[in-house]
Amino acid sequence: MIKSLMMDDSLMISGILRHAESIYPGQEIVTRLVAGEIHRYTYQQLGERTRKLANALLEAGINVGDTVTTIAWNTHRHLEAYYAVSGIGAVLHTLNPRLHPDQVSFILGEVKPKIVLVDTTFIPLIEANLEVFKSVEKVVVLATQQELPDLPAPPELDLLVYEEWIASYSVEYEWPVFDELAAAAMCYTSGTTGYPKGVVFSHRSTVLHAMGLGSANGPGVSENSCILPIVPMFHVCAWGVPYAALMAGSKLVLPGAGMDGKSLTELLVAEDVTLTLGVPTVLQGVIDYCRQKNINTPRLETAVLGGSAASIKLIKDTDEVLGAFLLHAWGMTELSPVGLANFLTNPELELSKEAQFLIQLKQGLPPFGIELQIWDESGKVLIGNPVERGRLMVRGPWVASSYFGISDSTSWEDGWFNTGDIAIRDEDGRYQLVDRAKDIIKSGGEWISSIDIENTASSSPLIVACAVVGVAHPKWGERPLMVVVPTDEQCSESKIKDYLEDKIAKWWMPDKIVFVESLPLTATAKVSKLTLRNQYSDVYQS
């Protein structure tokens, strides 16, 4: 019996920082501060300041397994917190400030942070939840004394200023090595129903996920990349970019609070960004601004799109306005988050743009590390080529095994996580998400994909944005309702139906179309179909 004889080095998040600092000391991190100015420093300076913060956290009594919560934009200081908190063995909890105050209060009650690091923007959120934050030992504002706003600080809170707090600590610190299965970070799923649910990442899962992101089949994160993560660092650790970028030695551009089209475009152009990542609404903001101002982004190669399905319009706009490839990806908080990414093969790169756009609508293939199955309702694995629609199940070393504090979740079956998505697998092997299981419409016993109708409709010049939801119907059980943000007043129900007529199955045609000024969004900037379903629950009941 032969045993392996390899070093048993743990996969540590601090190992990423040590690698980055030692191999690419001069690589740049550019931040638009919340106060507006541009801040620049190097990986080496990141390393030094992160060790200062680690020493400050340790002296503040943060122990292994304690939680530190951040309520913060994408900045270098938030990045320092990412590495310092996990690096000393504590748990980084990134709070989504867009959550409802009840949800914030619920989460902080579960997480029980000892220290909260907060951007100036979110001080009012603390003031509005004073009762909850009173039990926190230290609230640290991520700013210099000069950057502080002229707000009267709530007297109940002993607000510390980050730059003054860490200033006196030593840059010397040896990152400890411990079990790679230790908790490193946690993030709550926004949860369209009920309370948010916590996912707790380990050092191992975080490092493996970052290696997966850095693969050449991924977005191609390398020393020659300049990456602008538009996705906030409070959304599933900005999709793992803060880890993958440093692992590969990429230049990193952090947009701070400036998430509008103008601010982001300025950074894209000025910093020669090659890769950006975000959700549809924010990417659309960049596209609209560039189109309006006739701005080119010649260095931008790839825009990774996740969070919601990409429409053909967005894929086309990304190509035509930004001159970039929209890399359609799919993930979930429970998947760290990356589950699928959609690339073109060499033969597909020879096809017409229009043919490519249609392929890009799919969500693609999983990286090594993610294992997928499609199950029917009874739990039977569906196989074949193509694979008919069913429940998308997933497992792998960066997939959650349960939610924090919930022992009886029904989301896991036989060791597989039920994504709650309905998917198919095409002849070309690609996965495509048909709908969220809870969003799919069941009409007269047959399934209608709300996403399919939305994708088709979004190509119409009549429509800025739209959503299709199933609404209870006395005869058919459910029928589709379409909610539309029209381009102008000329738009009408009959014009949209004319547009859709030859493009979707007859019985998929929404029975009604209603017009609104904007669609309701969730805390993670997705269209809130729950809100729409509630609002229009009785339109077919007459």
Tell which positions 19-48 bind a second copy, by CB under 8 A: 19, 22-26
CB atoms within 10 A of CB 26: 9
Does 296 contact a second copy by CB under 8 A? no
Compute the half-sphere exposure of residue 517: CA atoms within 13 Å on the CB side of its CA.
0
Asked if 464 contacts 454 with a C-beta cutoff of 8 angstroms, the reply is no
Among 232, 256, 339, 396, binds a second copy (CB under 8 A): 396
**Choice among 31, 67, 94, 189 that is catalytic:** 189
Asked if 317 contacts 287 with a C-beta cutoff of 8 angstroms, the reply is yes
Does 61 contact a second copy by CB under 8 A? no
- Sign of the dihedral defined by the CA atoms of residues 468, 470, 472, 476, in that order: positive
Least CB distance to a second copy at residue 249 (A): 7
Of 317 and 334, the one with the shorter C-beta distance to a second copy is 334
Of 23 and 153, the one with the shorter C-beta distance to a second copy is 23
Of 234 and 398, the one with the shorter C-beta distance to a second copy is 398
User: Residue for token digits 């990409």?
Assistant: 310
Does 410 contact a second copy by CB under 8 A? no
Which long-range contacts does 531-536 make (Cβ < 8 Å, 24+ apart)?
Answer: 532/467, 532/469, 532/481, 532/483, 533/469, 533/470, 533/471, 536/469, 536/471, 536/481, 536/483
Least CB distance to a second copy at residue 90 (A): 9
Of 68 and 484, the one with the shorter C-beta distance to a second copy is 68
Does 371 contact a second copy by CB under 8 A? yes
Does 358 contact a second copy by CB under 8 A? no
Does 82 contact a second copy by CB under 8 A? no
Report the alpha-carbon distance of residue 200 to residue 86 in Å, rounded: 12
Least CB distance to a second copy at residue 78 (A): 20
Q: Which of residues 304-343 bind a second copy (CB under 8 A)?
A: 343
User: Residue for token digits 């969004």?
Assistant: 521
Least CB distance to a second copy at residue 58 (A): 16
Q: Is 452 helix (H, G, I), strand (E, B) or coil?
A: helix
Choose among 346, 335, 349: nearest CA to 392: 335
Q: Which stretch binds a second copy (CB under 8 A): 46-54, 64-72, 139-147, 317-325?
A: 64-72
Among 70, 74, 202, 418, binds a second copy (CB under 8 A): 202
**Cis peptide upstream of residue 337 (ω within 30 degrees of 0):** yes
Q: What is the x/- site pattern for a second copy, positions 412-451, by CB under 8 A?
A: ---x-x-----------x----------------------
Cβ neighbourhood burial of 490 (10 Å; 0-12, 13-18, 19+)? exposed
Of 111 and 290, the one with the shorter C-beta distance to a second copy is 111
Least CB distance to a second copy at residue 181 (A): 6
Tokens of 122: 């979110």
**Choice among 334, 398, 419, 456 that is catalytic:** 334
Does 196 contact a second copy by CB under 8 A? no
Among 146, 345, 518, 542, binds a second copy (CB under 8 A): 345
Among 79, 182, 252, 387, binds a second copy (CB under 8 A): 182
Of 7 and 541, the one with the shorter C-beta distance to a second copy is 7
CA distances to 1, 10, 208 from 4, rounded to whole Å, are: 10, 16, 21
Contacts of 82 (CB under 8 A, 6+ apart): 92, 185, 233, 237, 242
Report the alpha-carbon distance of residue 510 to residue 531 in Å, rounded: 18
Report the alpha-carbon distance of residue 440 to residue 532 in Å, rounded: 14
Q: Looking at this protein, which amino acid is placed at residue 262? A: K
Q: Which of residues 212-231 bind a second copy (CB under 8 A)?
A: 212, 214-218, 220-225
257: DSSP letter: T
Least CB distance to a second copy at residue 281 (A): 28
Applying CB under 8 A, the site for a second copy has a residue count of 74
Q: Are strands 325-331 and 371-375 parallel, antiparallel or unpaired?
A: unpaired
Q: Which of residues 105-144 bind a second copy (CB under 8 A)?
A: 111
Does 357 contact a second copy by CB under 8 A? no
Report the alpha-carbon distance of residue 82 to residue 237 in Å, rounded: 9
Of 37 and 272, the one with the shorter C-beta distance to a second copy is 272
**DSSP code string of 462-491:** TEEEEEEEEEEETTTEEEEEEEEEESSTT-
Q: What are the two backbone dihedrals, phi and then psi, of residue 415, each rounded to the nearest 5 degrees? A: 85, 0
Least CB distance to a second copy at residue 125 (A): 23
Least CB distance to a second copy at residue 195 (A): 17
**Choice among 37, 442, 446, 497 that is catalytic:** 442
Of 25 and 154, the one with the shorter C-beta distance to a second copy is 25
Is residue 189 annotated as a catalytic residue, yes or no?
yes
Of 344 and 509, the one with the shorter C-beta distance to a second copy is 344
Among 126, 139, 186, 465, binds a second copy (CB under 8 A): 186
Is residue 334 annotated as a catalytic residue, yes or no?
yes
Q: Are strands 302-305 and 275-278 parallel, antiparallel or unpaired?
A: parallel
Is residue 442 annotated as a catalytic residue, yes or no?
yes
Cβ neighbourhood burial of 248 (10 Å; 0-12, 13-18, 19+)? buried
Least CB distance to a second copy at residue 267 (A): 18
Among 280, 366, 470, 480, binds a second copy (CB under 8 A): 366
**Choice among 223, 380, 447, 507 that is catalytic:** 447
Give the residue numbers marked as catalytic.
Answer: 189, 334, 442, 447
